[in-house]
A = this chain, B = another copy of it.
Amino acid sequence: MTDLRSKEIHDEIDGDTLHEECGVFGILGHPDAAALTALGLHALQHRGQEAAGIVTFDGKQFCTEKRMGLVGDHYTDPATLAKLPGFMSIGHTRYSTTGEVALRNVQPLFAELHEGGIAIAHNGNFTNGLTLRRQIISDGAICQSTSDTEVVLHLIARSKHASTTDRFADAIAQVEGGYSMLALTRTKLIAARDPHGIRPLVMGELDGKPIFCSETCALDIIGAKFVRDVENGEIIICEIQADGSISIDARKPVAPQPERLCLFEYVYFARPDSVVGGRNVYVARKNMGQNLAKEAPVEADVVVPVPDGGTPAAIGYAQQSGIPFELGIIRNHYVGRTFIEPTQQIRAFGVKLKHSANRAMIEGKRVVLVDDSIVRGTTSVKIVQMIRDAGAREVHVRVASPMIFHPDFYGIDTPDRDKLLANQHADLASMCRFIGADSLEFLSIDGLYEAVGGIKRDPKSPQFTDHYFTGDYPTRLLDQEGASNVRKLSVLASNG
């Protein structure tokens, strides 16, 4: 079984990228509900490779399968799908931020309520999750996991409202943060998105049946049509009627807020072929590269992406600058879940397990190295060194997003503040020396806003969530403010 140690090691090998918690998928009224959910989760696998879970309701009981590992390892064989009968299903693929690595914490979570069972899957994080948990426990409830999802289940169960929908809306109104959430009851599929729309959630349709999922790429794989984004602060309730038809109802239980999608979805998380907030991600990334070429040009022989994240921006940089785009770094595609707990001997090879320099494209050349972002900078150091070892004459690092100064509390796994490269150095020159490049430039925040949304940042009312760059958090951070008190909970360490 994977444990925390291997996660650390994976980070070491995998570079110092950020990780998002999850992807979600749900469908109502389709005979192939579980299989379609498995395919949708496979398309969302980039949002979390640690574990996946699917819950269906077959008219009599809720059925669930949860497994560590990739969707395709477990959910596509007849034996597993046979255990997930029914016309309605939600699923979840997970990378762990809150809570330990354990099957116990794998979503969706299920609870028996007075009015019947309910299963919930969510992507994101509550900024008042610990505060709520403390209240719930002091009121006499028991918590069996450390996940936000369990908090939502408790809030639903404790609501004074009669209907499940009202209870769900009541629960949603109490949580703060960034999230996309799906719930499955005996007759309903419910979708909800946080008031700022920080995390993405889209609605689709297949054979007339409603689908919700984190990104449009999960619609494309099964040939479903994109209908619309779930709006920020919106709850959409789909219900199977007695005649088999499906009613769709929407509501906004809390006061509307301006939408502010997370910029890191565009910079790194979302799949390039997805359309997030109406914008193709690949195009946004190419724009970042083009703007970067305008803001930070350099005389060079080749534009080389740090694969795979930096590739679209590198193509944009190359097209804008006229410098040829070349695969100067080759990625080993067989890293995956491999290298669990390697010896120190093996770990020392670090980035070379995943990347290797393509000497013929590097030797004697002036190289523009394009990456999507820099977090701790430790991987950049190794990659720049690798490029130099391959004989580069000059190495100019260009980063297609601004410097990261602040942690995230909306579902992105960020290192401690003082581990961030931008906080470890007084200025750009010092950073450049640290990573060993001849020059280093980051895309400006306005350059990023223009690449994604077409216009500069509005400082009074920013169009996107961008606190990691700017410190401007879209919500209050209740748990953080009282952190010292709240965290005093016994934590159950499980390896099950």
A72 at the binding interface (Cβ < 8 Å) = yes
Task: For A496, give the chain B residue with the smallest CB separation.
Answer: B66
Inter-chain contacts of A273 with B (CB < 8 A): 330, 356-360
Contact between B143 and A283, CB atoms less than 8 A apart: no
**Cα distance A334–B495 when bound, in Å?**
24
* Cα–Cα, bound, A77→B221 (Å): 36
- B65 lies within 8 A of A340 (CB): no
A461 to B494, CA, bound (A): 47
**A76-B343 contact given A282-B360, A356-B273, A490-B62, CB 8 Å threshold:** yes
Chain B residues, CB < 8 A from A156: 142
Partner of A490, one of B61, B83, B361, B493: B61
Q: Using Cβ atoms and an 8 Å threshold, which residues of chain B touch A222?
A: 349
Could you tell me the distance between the alpha carbons of A205 and B303 in the complex, rounded to whole angstroms?
31
Would you call B73 and A489 a contact (CB within 8 A)?
Answer: no
Q: Are A35 and B332 in contact (CB under 8 A)?
A: no
Q: Which chain B positions have C-beta within 8 A of A138? A: 114
Judge whether A356 and B494 touch: CB under 8 Å: no
Contact partners of A104 in chain B: CB under 8 A: 104
Q: Is A8 at the interface (CB under 8 A from chain B)?
A: no
Chain B: minimal CB distance from A51 (Å): 10
Which bucket holds chain A's interface residue count? 35 or more
Contact A311 B339 (CB under 8 A): no
A272–B490 CB distance below 8 A: no
**A352 to B140 Cα, complex, angstroms:** 44
A325 to B282, CA, bound (A): 13
Q: What copy number does this chain have within its complex?
A: 4
**Assuming A282-B327, A308-B333, what are 12 further A-B pairs, CB within 8 angstroms?**
A57-B490, A62-B491, A64-B493, A64-B496, A76-B343, A111-B142, A112-B492, A141-B158, A220-B356, A272-B330, A272-B358, A280-B360
Provide 30 A-B residue pairs closer than 8 Å at the C-beta atoms, listed in order of the A residue. A32-B345, A38-B346, A39-B349, A42-B332, A42-B334, A43-B356, A45-B332, A45-B334, A53-B496, A61-B492, A63-B492, A67-B496, A71-B338, A76-B346, A77-B341, A106-B496, A112-B489, A117-B490, A140-B158, A142-B157, A217-B330, A220-B356, A220-B359, A221-B353, A221-B356, A272-B358, A273-B357, A282-B358, A308-B333, A334-B336
Q: Which residues of A contact B (CB under 8 A)?
A: 32, 35, 38-39, 42-43, 45-46, 49, 53, 57, 61-67, 70-73, 76-78, 81, 83, 103-104, 106, 109-114, 116-117, 133, 137-138, 140-144, 150, 153-154, 156-159, 186, 217, 220-222, 271-273, 275, 280, 282-283, 308, 311-312, 315, 319, 324-327, 330, 332-343, 345-346, 349, 352-353, 356-361, 489-496
